[in-house]
Chain A
């Protein structure tokens, strides 16, 4: 049993926690970071090993030691989910992610009021809890810019200070300057996708990714090896927190990382403030850190779980939960696929960064008229690989065309033909927030530390979401045919379980009665407690969340350093 004292303790050193560690350390605050997993090095990723990293999920939490359960509704029993799409090491999910780095649209920050203005309040499903963000696109722009330049993102601007630029994303919010690095090299699938979508009148562009297209900040450019999403980068060209902010945090001399540390409680007292955390060490020891500021920046499951586990007589509903909103409004992207296969050419889809290579944004957010469509909000549509990874094991996990069996001689022949000749499109849908989509503590399943597992109650198959998926499937089929593929078919939709990029559970807002934290991630109830990450998103957009998580982390770091430190109280 050890007790340490520090200014700030950060639980979870990933996309958000790594940025906070570096920025607060640079400002002279003493920071301790707690990380459940190990700290790996670029050298650890030398083996290009699809079995280890994709199939066996080596960079993800162990589903037996750290179960997360799911049930479709409150009447069903929850079972552990088979795959967990987040990180389990210093750097968190940024170690294995596909590095797709979006800024959200202007209307993504005000989905409710924008929808009401354009379509009337009746357009919003009655049971949905979509809400405006307490922060605007313009307010977050400087922090998006900082994240892109600090970390290293490759892309092409589509809206430079209001001027639309062909070849970039013309639907993006105005940005102050070009990306720090030019777009990544395009592969065959992206070339075919671009030509087809242009022919159809859409606006394709190279997806912005936190992968270096040129050398940057002493790191080398991408080698296009293809072992990308699900893998660590063997040359450090992926701008993961592991190779960007953690070395920076180390250099401050104010940062200490404790690995193998499982935080199980935030400690508070009757004064209404928190005074640190308790965690189990890798040897099973029970340890305490005393800190003036506690920052929770774990994945959404543990942000909600830690608050619920930290209840006391004073905080009987869970910490920071006077609103009763902790654990509510869980969201996840569904990723419906359409596959396209050629007879007469290879596309060699296993080359280059594997996730969402090129994109059209024409059917995302409210970039198109939803009148009469039966749903609100949209989806990004991208070309890439099935399951976001291009290797042959991954290929066997995707659905063959209708009529082709999944085993035997016909399947063998399909694999032999299709592996080099097939591409996948994916629609990353902006599923709405609903209050009965929740995370709470599973009463039946416990993790390796004896803590109740986080339990998700969620079913994406609601009318608004089903109508959107059907619309996007048709768009992707249209694109596949325009790409000149010999065969185009839909992937299966699967059960109602949440897909990728989970968000919500500690939503931010402007009103302490209906939200858990303010826009800085500061608890309304406990001013020296911050929750930073996608758990604070009130809506999620059709975009991957990481760059927005990172921009919010920079904004919170600034607020803590420049304002909170001088006057420790509510930041408004």
Chain B
């Protein structure tokens, strides 16, 4: 049995460090106003990240599961210099918030999938997924993607992989208001300027990246 304090420390080390996982995100009232002037919100920080949490839990995952999700999603979308990955984009926070909200009906899916994942890792490596090396974790993810991982019943290994992949992409590229894509990490990675209300003829004729205006989100705007 993991002691509560240890679990808390593990959650911090495994999940929150560098990821800025946030619990209890509250919407700033200003963000609910109906204005079309996204720029009005320039001063408001991305709200779901507004309260940096210094220890504590998210809205759904326990500390071990949070560490597992952090590690798994980072393998799907890994960090490299100048290329933010899932941890930097706070994909854990996106999925954690979604599972207590829009995707609440998938909580049991995640519980079963995570249990099967660790059962497979224990059988193969005698360790849970979250403590494996990155290279071993890549082997496990590949085994899931190819349907070769044992220990899965429902969800199947492929379905669990595909769901995590989909949710990782959502956490990378959905508007930061949903808790991922922190500081537009995902949009910076691919060069998407976000929720621009308009493009000009010159914008559309250009074969260069769009840099005329800063990246715009529903409640925030890039500083540069």
Contacts and interface: CB of A to CB of B under 8 A. Distances in A.
Interface of A: 43, 46-51, 55-56, 64, 185-188, 191, 223-227, 234, 345-348, 350-352, 391-393, 395-397, 406-409, 411-413, 415-416, 419-420
A391 B78 contact: no
B1 interface: no
Interface in B175-208: 175, 177-178, 186-187, 189-192, 194-201, 203-208
B203 A351 contact: yes
Nearest to A222: B198
Given A412-B78, A419-B191, 11 more contacts: A47-B218, A188-B207, A224-B198, A227-B195, A348-B203, A351-B199, A396-B172, A397-B169, A408-B141, A416-B83, A419-B190
Contact of B165 (A223, A350, A406): A406
A234 B218 CA distance: 13
A534 to B, nearest CB: 30
B189 A346 contact: no
Contact of B204 (A51, A187, A415): A187
21 contacts: A48-B195, A51-B174, A187-B204, A188-B207, A191-B205, A224-B200, A224-B204, A225-B198, A227-B195, A346-B206, A346-B210, A347-B207, A392-B187, A396-B169, A397-B169, A406-B145, A406-B165, A407-B145, A408-B75, A408-B76, A408-B141
Given A352-B204, A419-B190, A224 B199 contact: yes
A191 B105 CA distance: 45
Contact of B190 (A47, A226, A415): A415
Interface in B30-51: 34, 36
Given A223-B199, A225-B198, A392-B187, A407 B170 contact: no
Given A393-B174, A409-B80, A352 B199 contact: yes
A346 B190 CA distance: 12
B189 A416 contact: yes
Nearest to B175: A49
B204 A392 contact: no
Interface in B50-87: 75-78, 80, 83, 85
B173 A392 contact: yes
Given A50-B174, A348-B210, A351-B203, A412 B189 contact: yes
Contact of A51 (B83, B170, B209): B170
B204 A351 contact: yes
B83 A407 contact: no
Contacts of B201: 185
Given A223-B198, A223-B199, A224-B199, A420 B204 contact: no
B213 interface: no
A420 B190 contact: yes
A50 B189 contact: no
A408 B80 CA distance: 11
Contacts of B194: 48
A392 B199 contact: no
